[in-house]
Amino acid sequence: MSDVIKLLPDAVANQIAAGEVIQRPASAVKELLENAIDAGADSIRLIIKDAGKTLIQVVDNGVGMTETDASLCFERHATSKIQQASDLFSIRTMGFRGEALASVAAIARVELKTRTVDEQIGTEVIAEAAKLQSRNPCNCPKGTSISVKNLFFNTPARRNFLKSDNVEKRHILHELQRIAIARPDISFHYYQNNQLTHQLNKSKLKQRIANLFGSNYNQRLVPVDENTQIVKISGFVGKPEYAKKVRGEQFFYVNQRYIRSPYLNHAVESAFKELIPEGAHPSFFLFLETAPEQIDVNVHPTKTEIKFQDDNYIYQIIKAAVKRSLGSYNLSPSIDFEQESAFDDDRPVKDRPIKPPSITINPDYNPFETGRSHKHSTSGELPGRISPKQWEKLYPADVDLPVSGDADDGKQFVISPDWESREAEENGQKKFFQLHARYILTPVKSGIMIIDQQRAHERILFEKFNRNVASGKAASQQLLFSDQIRLTENEAEILKEIIEVVQDCGFSIRILENNEFEINAIPAGLSEDLALEDVLEGLIENVHKNREEFRKDMQNNVLRAMAKRMAVRHGKALTEEEMSSIVNNLFACEIPQFTPSGKIVLQIISHLELSERFK
C-alpha cells in the first residue's frame, strides 16, 4: 500500500485554522481593532460595507509597520508581541498568537497600507487566499490601514452560513462596543456603507457609555471604585430602577480585556438583590485590574473567560464594591458602609498561598436534619456518607450466614440478605423488585431497602459526571447526525453562559444564529435517542432555578441539572439487570442516601418494624 498521509498545503491549513479565528465579519473586526490598539493608535476608523461581507477596513494612527514586517505579518505565528513562551504569562496586549492576519488573509483579499513614523514612504501589500500578491512602496499617512474584502470568498460554505446583514451588523456593533468601552481614551469613527454612524470622541468612560447607549445614561450610572491590594475595581453600574428584563448592557473587563463570566456577573447581580425585581438585570460596565499572576494561566488567555487564583475573594470584593456604590448613592439599604473600604483586605499579597475561604459550602451536602435521622455517621467521616464498611454491614452479598427464612416451620423470624441472595441466585429468583415503576425493593440484612430509582440514578450520574470532569476526560460520543435545537432568547442566553461547562461535561455544541444550537456530540453513555432538546432545556431550566443559590460551583450546578434530567424517570419499567446495576452503582456513590439536591434516595424498613407490623 502506498503512503496515504500527506501534509495539507499551507493554503488549505490556513483556511481551516482561519475558520477557528474568523467565524464571521465581527471576528475580523475584533482582530483588526485589537491590532490597531496594540499598535498604540489613539484614533481608529472602522469602515464596513454590506455588514462586512464586502468590506471591512480599519484605519489607525499607530506605530505602523516596516516594509519587511508588512509582508511578514501575514505569516502564521508572526507576532511582534511575544518572543518566548514565558511572555504568555505577563501578556498585556490584546493579541499575541500571530494568527489573526494570517487567518484573515486565508479567506479574503487583504490590502494593507502602512508607514512607520521614521519612514517617508510607506508599504502597500496585497494578499489573497494566503498568498502575497504584491508589495510596493506607497504614499500613506503614518499608521496602518487594513482592508478586508470579500470575506470567505473561497469558503462558500462559510459565506453561505452568514446571517442577514442586520444580524452580522449587530455582532460587529457588539465588538465595537466592547472595545470602545474599554478604551475611552481612543477615538473611534464607525462608518457603515459610507455613513458615519458612530462618532466616539476621546472622553471619560461615562461619556463614552452615554455616546454608545444614549445620553440619558448620564443620569443612570453610579460609579464604582474600590482598591484593594489584590484588585482594583472601577467603572459604573446602572441604577436599579433602570434594570432591564433582558440581560443587555453588561460589560466586564479584566485588565482591559473583555470577558464573559457568569460567576462575576452573578457577583454584581447579587449586590442588586432586593433592589430590582426578580428576572431583571442591571447594566454594568466594570473594570478589574489585577496582576497577571492572579489570573489562572491555564485558562486560555484569548478566550473571553477567566479564572482567578481566588475566585471567591474576587467575587466578594465585586459584590461588596457594588453594594457600597449603591449604598453611598442611597440606593441600597446600607449595611456595612461605615468601613473605609467595602472589603477588609487584610491579606498579604505575596508569600501567602491563596486558599479557599475557610467556610466552604457543599451544595450537595444535606446535613442530616432532625427528622431524617440516619445515624450512620461515624467520627472523622462526612456525615451522610456510608463507608464501605457500613455498606458491607448493610449488604454483605458474599458472606455466608445461616438463616432461617421459612415462615412455615414456625421458627423465629430471622432474615439475612445473604440467604436471600444466595437462595435467589440458586433458584434463579429475583433479588430486586420494582414497585410502581418507581421504587426498587431489595432485601438487605437489616430489612427491606426501598430505593427511588430516579433519585438513585440522579446521584449516580452526578458523581460520575463529576469524576469525569475532575479527571478532565468527560468522554463524548459523536452523534451520527448532529442535532439542531432552537431555544428561547432567555434559554439561549443561559446556555451560552454555561456552554463551556456543558462542553467540559461531554457535549459538543456549536452556537448558531437565532438562538439555535448545533449539537455534535453528547456525553458518552447518554442514550442517543434521548430528546436532546429536552435534556438541554431541562438543564437550562434547572440552572435558572438554581441561580439564586448558585455561588462558586457552577460546574456542580450543571452536573446536577444534567443528572436530574438524564436520570431514569419514574414510570419506566426496569429489568432485573438494570435494577441491580442501579443499586450497585448507587452504593458505590459517596452519598447514596441523597440526591444531589438533597432529596432522600432510599429508606430501609427494619425487621423490627416489619415484625411489629405483623404482630
Q: Which residues bind Mg ion (CB under 5 A)?
A: 35, 95, 100
Distance of closest approach, residue 138 Cβ to Mg ion, in angstroms: 22
Nearer to ligand ADP, 57 or 557 (CB): 57
Sheet holding 447-452, edge to edge: 433-435, 439-444, 447-452, 602-606
Distance of closest approach, residue 306 Cβ to ligand ADP, in angstroms: 19
Picking from 398, 345, 85, 54, the residue whose alpha carbon sits closest to that of residue 226 is 345
Residue 458 binding partner per list ligand ADP, Mg ion, none, with a CB distance cut-off of 5 to 8 Å that depends on partner kind: none
Cell readout for 166 is 442586520
Q: How many CB atoms lie within 10 A of CB 529?
A: 6
Distance of closest approach, residue 31 Cβ to Mg ion, in angstroms: 5
Nearer to ligand ADP, 96 or 433 (CB): 96
Picking from 448, 453, 426, the residue whose alpha carbon sits closest to that of residue 437 is 453
Distance of closest approach, residue 78 Cβ to ligand ADP, in angstroms: 5
Picking from 598, 306, 610, 575, the residue whose alpha carbon sits closest to that of residue 448 is 610
Binding map of ligand ADP across residues 491-520, x = CB under 6 A, - = no contact: ------------------------------
Residue 522: C-alpha distances to residues 105, 212, 470, 499, 532 (Å): 34, 40, 18, 13, 9
Distance of closest approach, residue 600 Cβ to ligand ADP, in angstroms: 55
Nearer to Mg ion, 73 or 448 (CB): 73
Distance of closest approach, residue 34 Cβ to Mg ion, in angstroms: 5
Q: What is the DSSP track for 259-282?
A: E--HHHHHHHHHHTTTTS-TT-B-
Nearer to ligand ADP, 143 or 417 (CB): 143
Angle of CA points 392, 398, 400, to nearest 5°: 105
Among positions 20-59, residues that touch ligand ADP (CB under 6 A) are 31, 35-36, 38-39
Q: For residue 81, state whether it binds ligand ADP (rule: CB under 6 A).
A: yes
Nearer to ligand ADP, 57 or 442 (CB): 57
Helix (H) or strand (E) holding 128: strand 122-128
In terms of DSSP bridges, do strands 143-149 and 55-60 run parallel, antiparallel, or are they unpaired? antiparallel
Contact 253, 224 (CB under 8 A): no
- Environment class of residue 441 by beta-carbon count within 10 Å: exposed (0-12), middle (13-18) or buried (19+)? middle
Residue 78 binding partner per list Mg ion, ligand ADP, none, with a CB distance cut-off of 5 to 8 Å that depends on partner kind: ligand ADP
CA distance 188 to 396: 74
Q: For residue 78, state whether it binds ligand ADP (rule: CB under 6 A).
A: yes
Which residue in 46, 60, 228, 595 binds ligand ADP (CB under 6 A)? 60
Residue 198 binding partner per list Mg ion, ligand ADP, none, with a CB distance cut-off of 5 to 8 Å that depends on partner kind: none
Nearer to ligand ADP, 32 or 317 (CB): 32
Q: How many CB atoms lie within 10 A of CB 573?
A: 8
Picking from 288, 236, 241, the residue whose alpha carbon sits closest to that of residue 261 is 288
Q: For residue 184, state whether it binds ligand ADP (rule: CB under 6 A).
A: no
- The interface region with ligand ADP, picked from 73-81, 254-262, 305-313, 568-576 by CB under 6 A, is 73-81
Distance of closest approach, residue 60 Cβ to ligand ADP, in angstroms: 5
Residue 73 binding partner per list Mg ion, ligand ADP, none, with a CB distance cut-off of 5 to 8 Å that depends on partner kind: ligand ADP
Distance of closest approach, residue 176 Cβ to ligand ADP, in angstroms: 16
Nearer to ligand ADP, 80 or 581 (CB): 80
Distance of closest approach, residue 96 Cβ to Mg ion, in angstroms: 7
- The interface region with ligand ADP, picked from 48-56, 72-80, 188-196, 566-574 by CB under 6 A, is 72-80
Nearer to ligand ADP, 78 or 331 (CB): 78
Q: How many CB atoms lie within 10 A of CB 378?
A: 11
Residue 295 binding partner per list ligand ADP, Mg ion, none, with a CB distance cut-off of 5 to 8 Å that depends on partner kind: none
CA distance 172 to 152: 16
Q: Which residue has the cell 504569562?
A: 89
Q: For residue 80, state whether it binds ligand ADP (rule: CB under 6 A).
A: yes
Nearer to Mg ion, 7 or 85 (CB): 85
Cell readout for 478 is 459523536
Contact 76, 130 (CB under 8 A): no
- The interface region with ligand ADP, picked from 79-87, 124-132, 147-155, 413-421 by CB under 6 A, is 79-87
Contacts of 511 (CB under 8 A, 6+ apart): 496, 499, 517
Nearer to ligand ADP, 79 or 434 (CB): 79
Distance of closest approach, residue 304 Cβ to ligand ADP, in angstroms: 16
Helix (H, G, I), strand (E, B) or coil at 464: helix
Which residue in 14, 27, 57, 144 binds ligand ADP (CB under 6 A)? 144
Nearer to ligand ADP, 98 or 592 (CB): 98
Give the chain's end-to-end CA distance (angstroms, integer). 81
- Environment class of residue 87 by beta-carbon count within 10 Å: exposed (0-12), middle (13-18) or buried (19+)? middle
Helix (H) or strand (E) holding 225: strand 221-227
Q: For residue 592, state whether it binds ligand ADP (rule: CB under 6 A).
A: no
Q: For residue 73, state whether it binds ligand ADP (rule: CB under 6 A).
A: yes
Q: For residue 485, state whether it binds ligand ADP (rule: CB under 6 A).
A: no
Picking from 256, 254, 252, 179, the residue whose alpha carbon sits closest to that of residue 212 is 179
Nearer to ligand ADP, 304 or 581 (CB): 304
Picking from 119, 161, 133, 18, the residue whose alpha carbon sits closest to that of residue 71 is 133
- The interface region with ligand ADP, picked from 62-70, 148-156, 237-245, 390-398 by CB under 6 A, is 62-70
Length of the chain (residues): 615
Helix (H, G, I), strand (E, B) or coil at 484: strand
Distance of closest approach, residue 124 Cβ to ligand ADP, in angstroms: 14
Cell readout for 502 is 456543558
Nearer to Mg ion, 95 or 240 (CB): 95
Sheet holding 122-128, edge to edge: 131-138, 122-128, 109-115, 143-149, 55-60, 43-49, 187-192, 195-200
Q: For residue 128, state whether it binds ligand ADP (rule: CB under 6 A).
A: no
Binding map of ligand ADP across residues 84-123, x = CB under 6 A, - = no contact: -----------xxxxxxxx---------------------
Distance of closest approach, residue 36 Cβ to Mg ion, in angstroms: 9
CA distance 17 to 453: 47
Nearer to ligand ADP, 77 or 352 (CB): 77
Q: How many CB atoms lie within 10 A of CB 289?
A: 14
Q: For residue 444, state whether it binds ligand ADP (rule: CB under 6 A).
A: no
Residues binding ligand ADP (CB under 6 A): 31, 35-36, 38-39, 60, 62-65, 73, 78-81, 95-102, 144
